Amino acid sequence: MGKEDEGRIGVVAALVRGAFLVNAVYGESAREYGITSQQGQLLCVLMARPLGMGELGATLGLAKSSLTGLVDRTERNGLVRREPDPRDLRAVRVALTPEGSRLVEDFYAETCRRIDRLPKGLSDAERGALADLLGRVVLDNQVPVVFAEPDDGAARRR
């Protein structure tokens, strides 16, 4: 009889299945807003500020060619634009357009609502413990900020 038969899952399976669960919610939300999950990630990363292609590639974990295609497609949809980097005239930064800003604000809020409902069966104390433990895993592994804290409204405003 395995752990799952006893109503328990090991840490590896729990993390992997949890990632799948969050990705599924993220993908469902993205589809409803007419974008792909990857475009949603790009838009959420750009909420804080425009970023150079190198920074975006490192943050999203994408190779240069994959990132270029993602930015091209998102730019064609009118959600981002390339602009000169004031620190390096040879480089460009990617920034949200006004349409992209409007869409990502709504997409972000809806995605946060959906993800916040996932641990609905946990008490406040259990939710706090879950956040503390997952936060430690994320920080210990130096995961880049690809999704801002839902209650950090100041970081999302420019």
CA distance linking residue 50 with residue 53, whole number of Å: 10
Q: Is residue 61 part of a domain?
A: yes
130/116 Cα distance (integer angstroms): 12
Tens-digit pLDDT profile for residues 38-62? 999 999 999 999 999 999 999 999 9
The residue range of the domain holding 20 is 6-147
- What band does 157 get if pLDDT is binned at 50, 70 and 90? very low
Count of domains for the chain: 1
User: Would you call 4 exposed, middle or buried from its count of C-beta atoms within 10 A (0-12, 13-18, 19+)?
Assistant: exposed
C-alpha torsion sign, points 70, 75, 78, 79:
positive
Main-chain dihedrals φ then ψ at residue 73, nearest 5 degrees: -65, -40
pLDDT > 70: percent of the chain = 91
Residue 59 placed within a domain: yes
Structural domain contains residue 131: yes
Q: Cβ distance 7 to 44 under 8 Å?
A: no
The answer to whether position 152 is within a domain reads no
Task: Calculate the CA dihedral of residues 111, 114, 118, 122 and round it to 10 degrees.
Answer: 110
Whole-model pTM over 0.85 = no
pLDDT value for 87: 85
CATH number of residue 79's parent domain? 1.10.10.10
**pLDDT tens digit string along 77-126?**
999 999 998 888 888 999 999 999 999 999 999 999 999 999 999 999 99
- Going by pLDDT thresholds of 50, 70 and 90, the confidence category of residue 145 is confident
Q: Classify residue 142 as left (phi > 0), alpha (psi -120 to 50) or beta.
A: left
What distance in Å separates the CA atoms of residue 45 and residue 62, rounded to the nearest whole number?
13
**40 falls within a domain:** yes
Q: Could you tell me if residue 68 is inside a domain?
A: yes
Nearest to 150 by CA among 114, 125, 122, 119: 114
What value does the mean pLDDT of the chain take? 89
Question: Do the domain assignments include residue 137?
Answer: yes
Instruction: Evaluate whether residue 127 is within a structural domain.
Output: yes
